[in-house]
Copies of this chain bind each other. A is one copy, B any other.
């Protein structure tokens, strides 16, 4: 999606260690009309599928997923991050390693909100090593829900997450795929 690539080039800041900050429009300040444009593109890609629920994970996923849920006319559900092992038996839970924050957390959802009859579109802002997305997939598997696919705003295609998840036969659509980036050389896209 060229409009997104241009926005990343114009407003994104690359830090050492291949960290990309897009706080001006995606994960701190939210450019709401721009989010609607991204949602329209996710809708175009997945409109042939029956989708009954949008699933994302807090925090930055929510503002991306909201207009997608609006466009599909279905509820939005977000996985909650929990530092402590949650033992409540009314929840599905999955362990996620966060390389960004150097810790492991549990992502949980209440069982009553995800059913075997659900057809789920997963939405998130970034896909890098794929751990967060694998957590959401594990939650869907526990519920027996069907995963229609995943919609990602920015994929760091030089990391293994995208390949790993596509390799499991899950459709992944990323609106921008970064081939490589560097604080001096800038960003190149696939």
Chain B residues near A28 (CB-CB < 8 A): 77-78, 80, 109-110, 113
Q: Which of A58-66, A143-151, A161-169 contacts B (4 or more CB under 8 A)?
A: A58-66
A29 and B62 contacting across the interface, CB-CB below 8 Å = no
CA distance A58 to B81 in the complex (A): 12
Report the minimum CB–CB distance from A58 to chain B (whole Å). 4
Q: Which of A10-41 contact B (CB under 8 A)?
A: 23-24, 28-33, 36
A186 lies within 8 A of chain B by Cβ: no
| Contact-residue bracket for chain A | 20 to 34
Report the minimum CB–CB distance from A72 to chain B (whole Å). 9
Q: Which of A50-87 contact B (CB under 8 A)?
A: 58-59, 62-63, 66-67, 69-70, 73-78, 80
Residue of B nearest to A35 (CB): B66
A23 and B63 contacting across the interface, CB-CB below 8 Å = no
Residues 106-138 of chain A, each 1 if its beta carbon lies under 8 Å from chain B, else 0: 000110110000000000000000000000000
Interface residues of A (CB under 8 A from B): 23-24, 28-33, 36, 58-59, 62-63, 66-67, 69-70, 73-78, 80, 109-110, 112-113
